[in-house]
Amino acid sequence: MKRKAYGRDSGLTLRMLATGGLLGLLYVVFGVVLFQALNFGLVPMLVIVIGLAFFQYYTSDKLALKASGAKVVERDQAPELHAMIERLCAMADLPKPRVAVIDTDVPNAFATGRSPKHAAVAVTTGLWQRLEPREVEGVLAHELSHIANRDVLVMTVASFFAMLAGLLTRFGLYAGMFGGGGNRDNNNNNVPVWLVVLAVSVVTYVLSWILIQMISRYREFAADRGSALITGAPEQLMSALQKISSEMFRIPQRDLREVEAMNAFFIIPASVKRTTSELFMSHPPLEKRLAALSEIAREMGRPVA
Amino acid sequence: MGLRDVLFGKKKLAGPAAERLFALTTASVTLDTECGLKTAGAGAICFKPLSAGEFVRAQSDLQQLLESVAAESGSKLEQRDDSFGYSWIVVRDPDLEDQVTSLHAVAQGLEEQGFGEQLLAAAFRFDGGKHPVYLVYGYKRGAFWPFVPTGDGQNRDNAEELELKAKLERELPIEQDLSRWFGLFDAPL
């Protein structure tokens, strides 16, 4: 029997469905208003939208790896990491994803890829060096659960219209700036079309952003649960999370002179590029994740303090 | 940076915030009594030398500056270059206060010579713990941070560093953003 999700949490499932439903409803309203206001022809609009969605969907893994500066490593370059991921994949009944490494001191990891067959897991060198192997295992199992739960697909769909709304906001602004949207003949009321589009887009963007953050947090809880079930030991992920978010690991291991020299070549100063810790914004607060994990530990009969 | 600088894209390199360096002299008692750390008799300033064209003139000016500071303070001064392409002026003096004063004089002299924006950091070495302790002063930030290399590659004793932060915070301006606590491995002091 093939497992589809790891463990059940009916409350979480319900909240996920409710949020997803709200987001869907929002997008339908957005689409209808857009269609009415723009008089754009449904077919070209759909073609553009679906085309963009597919482009984003198919390039997501490569984009994410490129953007984070991760390098795909083969088995001989990181034998222990490969072995650990293979073991976990066997447990989770997943095909083995590509393995990538990001060269930075900050301990972190992410998973990407549109489907389990086209997935990649990236870990930072800091994660590998600063955490115990069992803790790394907990983090990797969390990322593999993201792959098993198809979170990239979910988030792509969820955020796609938000992106479109963002684009249209900008588009509406330009249309307003360069003389009124070009839709002069059916302006029977006083409000110009571009203003309607702009307003609706802004509202959609803000609301969908909030909903997406919520969905993202629910998926994190689900992946934490997945990690606990794959490794059978939620306390591994708990101590890993505590370590990752601890202040101590924000102290860099790099040399000041090295960093200053790099600043000359990068557009963003190295000291401002705290990329990885900002990823945690879409994550639930640590205490809630720890509480949820110790609840799972109790369910599994492995109580942790 | 004001709004006008943002609008016209005129962000300048941060100038040096030299004055807060003197806070170290007031913290020296706490360092001694609470942390058990005594100066190792050396402090240094690290800066990026100018490019070739300016170099010869600057070099002779620098030599003059070092001689005048040494004559005034009685500290020993020497210039070192490191593998990162930075120059160091190392001040050797048994007294921490004299180290600070001499280094401040050197920093001021460098600033007058147009090196101000090139000043990177000052570092003071203390002994008495398990590992040598450095207090690094970032000129761009105007704040201190502790740096305790364990001598094993680029590893640092983070626990010791955080303890020092807690103990010194009341007397020293400590850099609050921990991700800026960059190290100065193999500093020549």
- Judged by CB atoms closer than 8 Å, whether chains meet at A259 and B182 is answered as yes
Active site residues of A: 143
CA dist A208 and A163 (Å) reads 9
Reported as a single tens digit per residue, the pLDDT across B22-66 is 889 889 888 999 889 999 999 999 988 766 556 666 777 888 888
On whether the CB atoms of residues A236 and A301 are closer than 8 A, the answer is no
Provide, as residue numbers in chain A, all residues whose Cβ is less than 8 Å from the Cβ of B179: 106, 250-252, 271, 274, 277
Residue A304 in any domain: the answer is: no
Q: Does A267 touch chain B (CB under 8 A)?
A: no
The 8-class DSSP code of residue A27 comes to H
Provide, as residue numbers in chain B, all residues whose Cβ is less than 8 Å from the Cβ of A250: 178-179
Per-position pLDDT tens, chain A of length 305: 334 444 556 666 777 777 777 777 777 777 777 766 666 555 666 677 677 777 767 777 777 788 778 899 999 999 999 999 999 998 888 999 999 998 877 788 888 888 888 899 999 888 888 888 999 999 999 999 999 988 878 877 777 777 777 767 766 666 665 554 444 444 455 667 777 777 777 787 778 878 888 888 888 899 999 999 898 888 889 988 888 877 667 777 778 887 776 554 434 333 333 333 333 456 777 888 888 888 888 887 766 55
Report the gap between the CA of A219 and the closest CA in chain B (Å).
28
Residue A3 in any domain: the answer is: no
- Count structural domains, chain A: 1
CA dist A224 and A265 (Å) reads 38
Q: What is the pLDDT of residue A275?
A: 37
Report the gap between the CA of B86 and the closest CA in chain A (Å).
8
The domain containing residue A157 runs over which residues?
A: 10-299
**Cβ-based neighbours of A30, under 8 Å, separated by 6 or more:** A161, A165, A200, A201, A204
Reported as a single tens digit per residue, the pLDDT across B86-99 is 889 999 999 999 99
pTM above 0.80, yes or no: no
On whether the CB atoms of residues B119 and B139 are closer than 8 A, the answer is yes
CA dist B100 and B83 (Å) reads 25
Residue B156 in any domain: the answer is: yes
Q: Does B156 touch chain A (CB under 8 A)?
A: yes
- Count structural domains, chain B: 1
Report the gap between the CA of A73 and the closest CA in chain B (Å).
23
Containing A108, the helix (H) or strand (E) segment is none
Residue B129, Cβ density class (10 Å: 0-12 exposed, 13-18 middle, ≥19 buried): middle
Specify the CATH number for the domain of residue B87.
3.30.70.1710
Structure ipTM over 0.85, yes or no = no
Residue B5 in any domain: the answer is: no
Containing A35, the helix (H) or strand (E) segment is helix A10-38
Of the candidates A62, A108, A66, A63, the one whose C-alpha atom is nearest the C-alpha of residue A280 is A108
Containing A124, the helix (H) or strand (E) segment is strand A120-124
Who among A253, A256, A260 is closest to B156 (CB)? A253
- Judged by CB atoms closer than 8 Å, whether chains meet at B184 and A257 is answered as yes
Give me the sheet containing A109-112, strands edge to edge.
A71-72, A98-102, A120-124, A109-112
Residue B46 in any domain: the answer is: yes
The more confident residue out of B101 and A35 is B101
Who among A106, A255, A274 is closest to B182 (CB)? A255
The domain containing residue B150 runs over which residues?
A: 36-175
Residue A5 in any domain: the answer is: no
Place of tokens 């392409």: B85
